[in-house]
Amino acid sequence: MQDVIIIGAGPCGLSAAIECNRRGLSTHIIEKHHIVRSIYLYPTYMQFFSTAELLEIGDIPFSSPNDKPFRHEALSYYRKVAAHYELNITSYEEAVSIERHENGLFTVHTKDRRGQELHHEARHVVIATGYFDHPNYIGIPGEDLPKVTHYFREAHPYTGTKVTIIGGSNSAIDAAMELVRVGAEVTIVYRGKTVSNNIKPWVRPVFENMVTKGSVTLHLDSRVTEIREDAIIVTTNEGHESTVDNDFVLALTGFHPDRALLASSGVQLGGDMEKPVFHPDTMESSVPRLYVAGVIASGSNANEVFIETGRIHGRLIAEHIHSAQQLE
């Protein structure tokens, strides 16, 4: 039996394991894909908005020649941190439910990649399952067409095509700029009156210049209300409709955490998009000895927790478990 089972090997799950191990607790990380799966799914050439220092876990320096590191540097960094601390990680095994027994111990029920059911016992469980598996669907006709994706990887396949991006955040702006460079005809449709205020400051002027020069067509205060095989329908917030020729749609509308695992374990979920109830000083949920770490702890604004802020959850959890053990 492990002292702590951690579900999810994202930066926050890895950090929780390191902090627990440092306090003499045995850990097992169960990961349904592979470590830092979310970062792997970022656009291939993405640059973080955080500095390398603010992405560090386990006090291992993240050195980068760049002011803000790129995706591939972060993949390498987190791989090395996991290897350095010899973390006990099982990849390609999905946690499907958490059972809490009357004696306060847990069984985590899982399924491996062959569909085989497995059962792991632990004294404590940390849920650190993130949000990247669950895009925010818009719910419009045509959203399920094969030409629509919620994940942008790189621009090359879109060369010479007409691409509509739905969204106005960093992901949307980065994708638009990369697409222009490969010769795609880019239209952005965003419901806000301006694109996000959080656009990376070094990116904003370049993007605005592209809009001014007409390389990107920007429909603000508007929504895509239908996606067809060869076009999209754009409707302004005043109700004016127009048809835009289109080959591909990138619906970069964000992600939300999946609460199914939390619900299966009896954690109380609150009003704000079913935010789990937990103590902010310890990250312990309403179920004793069951903790949340990272983005899964956020409410309707999934961006309220990110690596910079979620990486400290592990220390809070480890300190709480350790001090409770001292009292037993």
Ligand X SMILES: Cc1cc2nc3c(=O)[nH]c(=O)nc-3n(C[C@H](O)[C@H](O)[C@H](O)COP(=O)(O)OP(=O)(O)OC[C@H]3O[C@@H](n4cnc5c(N)ncnc54)[C@H](O)[C@@H]3O)c2cc1C
Q: Contact residues for ligand X (CB under 6 A)?
A: 7-13, 30-33, 37-38, 42, 46, 48-50, 94-95, 128-133, 171, 261, 294-295, 306-308, 310
Closer to ligand X by CB, 177 or 324: give it.
177
Structure tokens at 155: 């621009």
Shortest CB 286 distance to ligand X, Å: 19
CB of 125 to ligand X, least distance (A): 11
Q: Phi first, then psi: what are they for 191, rounded to 5°?
A: -75, -20
Specify the DSSP class assigned to residue 116. -
Q: Which is closer to ligand X, CB of 11 or CB of 142?
A: 11
Judged by beta carbon, residue 46 or residue 125, the one nearer ligand X is 46
d(CA 45, CA 26): 36
Return the half-sphere exposure (C-beta side, CA atoms, 13 A cut-off) of residue 117. Answer: 5
Return the number of the residue (211 or 312) whose C-beta is nearest ligand X: 312
Beta bridge partners of 200: none
Tell the smallest beta-carbon distance from residue 315 to ligand X (Å). 14
> In a 3-state reduction of DSSP, which class is residue 216?
strand
Phi, psi of 205 (to 5 degrees): -65, -35
In whole angstroms, the minimum distance from the beta carbon of 302 to ligand X comes to: 8
Closest to 79 (Cα-Cα) out of 51, 50, 110, 57 = 57
Min. distance of Cβ 226 from ligand X in angstroms?
26
Element (H, E) at 173: helix 170-181
Considering the complex, state which of residue 12 and residue 233 has its C-beta at the smaller distance from ligand X: 12
With respect to ligand X, which residue has the nearer C-beta, 48 or 62? 48
Strands 231-236 and 117-127: unpaired
Q: What's the closest the beta carbon of residue 243 comes to ligand X, in angstroms?
A: 30
Which pair of tokens denotes residue 322?
């350790």
